[in-house]
Structure 1
């Protein structure tokens, strides 16, 4: 009898504990979790956000009120929000590694990642929806399809396999890709696109090789509202932006339609943006681009290349008005002038960008109609521009005072020459007083205008060889190894970017190539055909063949492809030479650098907006220097907002993963400790030592 009684009590105890685990109370829309029901809640709710708070924390109270509103908005998307009082559940808090409060986590099918503990409701709402799915999602039930569409601003659903669309999905990380189970959902089309800005789906019935082009042409609206997906696309493509803010007190349907008509006329040349002030997040995104507060009845312009912004007012919203303003603004699309053998036409529209923003020196000829002296000097000035075309940092321009006088330029006589010298971001005007002849102005240029606006040594150094007239034959023409040769201009931002690419390429090909560069404003060599800088050439051993890199895309992936083509090798790098720097990895180079290399690779997956990512950047760079020269370890980073790979699952930022090589297998080991250089090194070294002992 005692045994039966004990068993009965034990049964009641187990049943009571089970009921306790399954009981989840709710307050103000938040699920109340503790150590008893936490794991049950994660299993019950596939999409769950958990906020850890504590008593006596004012910030916790503010964030909690935001999360209460967030819970209301997310409920229809079947995403639930919960709260844990940390001081009442210390063991659970320690288990979750919560060291400060408030702290928030996102559980996606049981997979935990960090969630922003912010007071910005719009940011949290968008982040929650954006991070519900990976690169490609398998959809088996109609309910899953409906929720996938509802949670995604832009969704592409198809009946293709993961392998068939993996490359497309990697190239378009802003878009959510879903694969429909054909056995459960009969196939009516090959695929379709949904966008919350579109009134209906767009169907695709073409061939697989046409699918990517179809998505690029149809996935995005003509006029952006700067959702997260559109923001990322705008940053990636760098098409100049034209934007305006809608006045909520006006009837805007006509304004929108007029604006869209003009946007269609300039499609591909300009990216049009229309901002609704009701959405604070998109408003802030546009302010991020233009760098200024926004007003109604103004059209704003932003050029990604020159970083130049301008805004122009308008009185009435009409097609002719919008078209006229856009045509005026188009002048700012032109890049900064460089020395190229031409005399450029300076006008009131491009004065601001070419005189005040352009980092290059400008020699200006003040011209006028019906002026015999001007006519006589015009040919001499053209000869000067041709003579100094090798000087990228020296621009020749003229303004016609009879046709397009620039009011900011006060001219006392014509013809005259004004010289705008650029130094340390300042513009210094020098009015030339000498003889107006080719010889006299040439002498002035040689004596007073430096080859580069940068101070000595300011152009970044590389691990390559600096080429001049004395070592050219030895290192370029008579080298037993092939050479990659960079012609740069010290005052060119593009040259500086190409220089950094050389730094990244060096450890990849150091045993196969000689890396060289030369200042093209000082040195010129026969056989190298150049129209602009930077220019890159591949020279085969002993200078037998010179091949120019003609692609406009100066990316590490494209250059690796070009070099491999010339070396006639496949992307199989073996062991990289570690130069002590963090290697930038993209979706295209991930397989070669991270997976195929023989070294263990620690990769930091980050987002540009992530504060924790920025704060650990110096420690990560320090870690790379600690492994300088290592044949066993590489340190790399990958911007997950721009580049993604289907073999890696990232839930929050930063995420650190060590790709550990054991023979032919690659194991992914997450690093979750303090983000300090010495701690990360200890983590890597201990894993390698354990393997050696085995």
Structure 2
């Protein structure tokens, strides 16, 4: 539908004419979201604003008429612009732009009405969800039985969604629908902990989780309102604290022990954030372990790593894997990101020595270390 709309918009008029109510009925059958302008004459500031939006918007089909009966059928008792939606399972709904029709007011109403009250996360809808023009999303992760229209949980979620239209996007994520894996992984939601309600703010990539407990309409509404008002604390993923604290001399960091180890003001900490599937991370692994061996006798320095697919922290900004960050031994010290593709033992050693708050003397290098220093192979980020 979107491609057809785009082709028609580029090859024809921005809005199609509606001669009578039959034409309106036909238009509605072919469009989930129809924007209808009714003016006695197709000119003037409000009509011009409508045309400008129609020329730019890819979110709806646009129609125009000078027939009062058509305007009335579209929900317009007087000249203006209305949006008619016909979402599956929701029935027909017509809403008019309040007051004078401007580019901003028409666009705002389209953003508010172009999605159904709740929308399922899948390949077909992902573009609509992320392109809704609404930064915050509330997601219900549950099995398909709990997401049926007559299920108590879905009905509570659906009831909350209506009043937040245009402010929050309410998304359902069926665990058995074939598209849930990236969502549950992103939020760190375990299947045994579902159903779960989470929030996502696209403006800053922060995630929020509704406290576990009975998911009543009242509880979901309170979560949604506090999320909208910015009163919730972000949620950060963490794997369990490992029983074995090191791997080849490298300290293992998870979200739960990050502050204790990485933010220790008495230690200079070099942290590698990696992904298990990352080829460059695998190449770096033996070099990083040699680095840990080299600094093993320097009590003020910690060489550490964290699985970035399982753990998060507000002081780590990961743009790719591996990301290497140095945290100086000082309270409130700003982290320093390692830049460049040369991740050799020599380059990493220089980086630590340059930025360490506590000065130290390294023991003489072993033969293996000297050989590694000669390795200038580029280990660029993915």
TM-score by length of 1: 0.29
Larger relative contact order, structure 1 or 2 (CA cutoff 8 Å, min sep 6): 2
| Bigger Rg, structure 1 or 2 | 1
TM-score by length of 2: 0.46
